[in-house]
Amino acid sequence: MKLKMMMLAALLAASSAQALEKGAPAPQFDLPGLDGAIKLAKLQGKVVYVDFWASWCGPCRQSFPWMNEMQARYGGKGLQIVGVNVDAKSDDARQFLTTTPARFAIAFDPQGATPRSYGIKGMPSSVLIGPDGKVLLEHSGFREADRAELESKIQSALGGVK
């Protein structure tokens, strides 16, 4: 009986994508940005909020003003928000930015290697990385109700930075 349960568990595990565990080291990325490259390694020591977004993703339009607010409020305390764009055509992303501006770092990943390495389950998705480079949380979607929870997670992550 136990063997069968283990086989079942293995099958189920194999069929789902490799999601990141809390405490796992955040996968590195080195992507072109709006002005210059964005490397995760260079941001060591900061609390990094990585947001995977696209021009075709509805909730992204609501998340941008909130991320602008978070970057303004906590940037001085060590928060760096990086919006990783996954549009197949980066021009669509630039079009989006003209109507919905970002006051945080923007990186372009049209090949989708970064969301794949992070095991992203939905769009948008966000990953909070601690100053030690380890994953603190992974969150799918962006709804009204998520703002407070995400902000408190950012605050407690920053609380650990001296």
Partner 1 sequence: MKTLLALAALAALSGCASIGNVQPWEKGTLARSEMTFKDGTLFNRYDDHIYTSREASSGGAGVGGGGCGCN
Partner 2 sequence: MTINKESGMAASILSAALMLPGVQAHAEAPPTNGVISVGYLDYRDSQSGLDRIKVHAPSVSIMAPVAGVWSVSGSLVKDDVSGASPRYHTAVSGASHMDDDRKAGDVALTRYLDRGSVTVGAAYSTEHDYVSRALSLQGSYESEDRNRTWTAGIGHSDDKIDPVNQIVTNERKRTTNFLLGVTQVLTANDVAQLTLGYDNGSGYFSDPYKAFDNRPRTRYETTLLARWNHHVAATDGTTRLTYRYYRDSFGVRGHTLGAEYVQPLSDGWTLTPEVRLYTQSAASFYYDPVYDSKLGAPFPPGYNGTGYMSADQRLSGFGAVTLGLKASKQIDKLWSVDAKVSAYQQRGSWRLFHQGSPGLDALRAQTIQIAVNRQW
Q: Is the CA virtual torsion 66, 144, 25, 52 positive or negative? A: negative
Rounded to whole angstroms, the Cα distance separating 59 from 141 reads 7
- Distances 103 to 64, 75, 150 between C-alpha atoms, Å: 9, 11, 18
Which chain residues interact with partner 2 by CB under 8 A?
Answer: 16-17, 54-59, 61-62, 95-96, 99, 121-123, 141, 143-145
Closest approach of partner 1 to the CB of residue 32, in Å:
17
Closest approach of partner 1 to the CB of residue 65, in Å:
21
Residue 73, Cβ neighbours under 10 Å: how many?
A: 13
Which listed option, partner 1, partner 2, none, makes contact with residue 76 (CB within 5 to 8 Å by class)?
A: none
**Tokens matching residue 41:** 């390694």
Closest approach of partner 1 to the CB of residue 122, in Å:
5
Which listed option, partner 2, partner 1, none, makes contact with residue 41 (CB within 5 to 8 Å by class)?
A: none
Which listed option, partner 2, partner 1, none, makes contact with residue 99 (CB within 5 to 8 Å by class)?
A: partner 2
Rounded to whole angstroms, the Cα distance separating 117 from 18 reads 8
Which listed option, partner 1, partner 2, none, makes contact with residue 144 (CB within 5 to 8 Å by class)?
A: partner 2
Closest approach of partner 2 to the CB of residue 158, in Å:
26
Of the candidates 40, 80, 60, the residue with the CA atom closest to the CA atom of residue 122: 60
